[in-house]
Amino acid sequence: MSVQRLSLPVSESPVDAVTAALHPSTRKTRRKGRSVLLAPGAGGDLDGDGLVALAELLADLGCTVVRANLPYREAGRRAPRAETSVPGYLAVLASAREAVGDARPWVLGGKSYGGRVASMLVATGQEAVGLLFYGYPLHPPGKLDRLRVDHWPDVQVPTLFLQGDRDAFCDLELLRTHIRKLPRRATLEVVEGGDHSLRVSRAASPTGQAASEAATIATLRDDLRGWLASLER
């Protein structure tokens, strides 16, 4: 099934609607797969190569996926503090749920900033079945003392982290230490040589071959399938 472009109405934001894309599930199964909302990183939009690849993979695994800009991006503004974008993410989620027609709890997340905003929304009590982080921005580059984990004890859903071991925004040892603050099951999948977008350069690659973010995400298929299955248990 083809990807459908959407305009999702949002209230109480600098724009009336945000641009989105709907990826219907490409698998015919007896049980309907989960719906997923993915938001982009602070400097990107819904059409980033990695976000598109992740959405396509999830759809191939049976999910219905919506990737969408947050209101600030649609308005052409720079990303505000993450907590400021929480109401916008909530508005996009409400509109996406109506467009898809799925009232069950969704998997929420996104790339970097988008995933962090989703986690802050869930920490306020928003119902979700799980959180999917594509490059969680644990700290600003080079500022390991400015951790973005204060809200984690209030995140009451399972989480999946897709992280590169060369990500300037996420020291893996710090992540492994602080991941214990999450009350529910946290799963970490590490891409060797991967940067913040999971892109692997030839110099950093364990095989000597460079890999785009889309190519790397494709290798995580079994990990994503297993995590999605665990949400139903």
CATH assignment at residue 75:
3.40.50.1820
Whole-model pTM over 0.85? yes
Which domain range does residue 82 map to?
4-231
- Model confidence at 31, pLDDT cuts 50, 70, 90, reads confident
Query: pLDDT tens across 131-188, in order?
Result: 999 999 999 999 999 999 999 999 999 999 999 999 999 999 999 999 999 999 999 9
**d(C-alpha 120, C-alpha 149), whole Å:** 10
Encode pLDDT of 34-85 as tens digits: 999 999 999 999 999 999 999 999 999 999 999 999 999 999 999 999 999 9
Overall domain count for the chain: 1
Rounded Cα distance, 181 and 92, in Å = 28
**The dihedral of CA 171, 174, 177, 181: what is its sign?**
negative
| Position 28 pLDDT exceeds 80 | no
